[in-house]
Amino acid sequence: MKTLDIKISDLTNPEYKSILDRAEKRIEEAILLGAVTEQSPNNDIEIPSFPIAVMMAAATADSFIKRRYALAEAKRISNLLGNENKSNITYIANNFNWKIKPVKDPAVSLAYDFTLHYTDFLKNATVFHDKKWKLINRRMLKGEVYLTKSEAARLLEEEVRKHIEGKLDIKVESLPEAVMNRINRLKQLFIEKRGEIQLEELPKEVIVNAYPPCIKELYDTIASGRNVSHIGRFALTSFLINIGMTTKNVVNLFSSVSDFNERLTRYQVEHIAGERGSRTKYIPPRCDTLRTHGVCHSMDDTCRRVRHPLAYYRRKLRAIRRKTPVEKIEKLRA
């Protein structure tokens, strides 16, 4: 890339159009698919398109786009690593200063491919919530954690994600108009798809401590066997469904209410979940709608910064994960 000596002002030249097209496509795929899937067969296009895409993603000045792009590129790397041999994976890991070694013992190599120093393991594995990534569940000898090839690729994916996010943490002062037009198209695409993307990115586990105050009150009220309004039931049901609770568990929650009718409740819950009728999965009402209907109670500081219960849940969950060790997060799950 240094030998190409591409200047930002050069990007408006027709000879760079294919590189700009590819750079824009990388970000577009990240927005729409959450992954960069395609690849140009021409390395003279593929390689320079990456730093230009990083520059364009940074220029959007949108933290959500930047995070999604970094993750998409990291997933692409993880997939590509699946086709690499042990020597190449070791070489790539060493670029991140990992203390990694291929397993040479024939008996052990039947189950594992690498050993990695526990400090490098913990640096990247602490964000994973599957129990297999807990150090206590790993085979370790003299501070070396044993890994399969796919596990090494997954840890490298996280390393790459953080590396790219670091590159995106810059302020882009000015770009040629033709480049800014592409960036603005990407920003508009994200605005149009924001709702779908945010629902898709909701975490799969259910953590009660991240519920908005209104949902927590509705949940506690129903769990104690008391009734709530129709809009309250709809808000609670659609919220729980969208954060990953099963229809069976939602139905069971309502079973303590005095007028509980299992057949009717199951039909209503499955309808909201998009499993019946029009097959449309409903989302909870916005915060202003809940306030209008008297469902909003005990607003906190996070409430004042969001407009939707699901946005509250995402924000609160990120805060919990930043401050809480993974082991404690396990205990917060419903």
One-letter amino acid at 258 equals S
- DSSP assignment of 49-69: HHHHHHHHHHHTT-HHHHHHH
At 211-257, the pLDDT tens digits run 999 999 998 888 767 788 999 999 999 999 998 888 888 888 887 67
Residues 196 and 185: their CA atoms lie apart, in Å, by 18
Give dist(CA 203, CA 208) in Å, integer.
13
- pLDDT at res. 27: 96
Confidence of residue 333 (pLDDT cuts 50, 70, 90): very low
Q: Would the CA dihedral through 304, 310, 315, 321 be positive or negative?
A: positive
Q: In one letter, which amino acid is 2?
A: K
**Sequence ranges of the domains in the chain:** 8-61+171-200, 82-157, 208-332
Q: What is the tens place of the pLDDT at every residue in 161-176?
A: 999 999 998 888 889 9
Lowest-pLDDT choice from 41-45, 66-70, 157-161, 252-256: 252-256
Query: For position 280, what pLDDT does the model report?
Result: 85
pLDDT band at residue 261 under the 50/70/90 scheme = confident
pTM: 0.62
Summarize the confidence of residues 195-207 as an average pLDDT: 60
b/e sequence 281-303, b meaning 16+ C-beta within 10 Å: eebbbebeebeeeebbeeeeebb
Euclidean distance between the first and the last CA atom of the chain, given in angstroms as a whole number: 49
CB 74 within 8 A of CB 167: no
The phi, psi pair for 329, rounded to 5°, reads: -60, -35
Confidence of residue 156 (pLDDT cuts 50, 70, 90): very high
pLDDT for res 40: 75
What the block records as the tokens of 84 is: 């690499």
Q: CA–CA separation, 239 vs 255, rounded Å?
A: 18
**Order of strands, sheet of 140-141, starting from the edge strand that comes earlier in the sequence:** 100-102, 114-117, 144-147, 140-141
Percent of the chain predicted with pLDDT > 90 = 52
pLDDT for the residue numbered 328: 46
User: CA 255 to CA 115: how far, in whole Å?
Assistant: 50
Q: Between 170 and 159, name the one with better pLDDT.
A: 159
What pLDDT digit, counting tens, does each position of 111-126 carry? 999 999 999 999 999 8
pLDDT of 126 reads: 81
CA distance 265 to 258: 13
Which among 198, 199, 189 is positioned nearest to 64, based on CA atoms?
Answer: 198
> Is the pLDDT reported for residue 199 higher than 50?
yes
pLDDT at position 129, please? 66
Residue 39, pLDDT > 90, answer: no
Averaged over 136-165, what is the pLDDT?
A: 94
Q: Is 161 exposed, middle or buried (0-12, 13-18, 19+ CB in 10 A)?
A: buried
Q: What is the mean pLDDT of the chain?
A: 87
Phi, psi of 146 (to 5 degrees): -85, 135
Q: Is the pLDDT of residue 160 over 80?
A: yes
Residue 102: helix, strand or coil by DSSP? strand
DSSP 260: -
pLDDT for 265-323, tens place per residue?
Answer: 999 999 999 988 878 889 999 999 999 999 988 889 899 899 999 999 988 888 877 76
Q: Pull the structure tokens for residue 197.
A: 């993307």
310: Cβ contacts below 8 Å, ≥ 6 apart: 198, 199, 202, 239, 242, 243, 283, 284
CA dist., res. 268 & res. 290, Å (int): 20
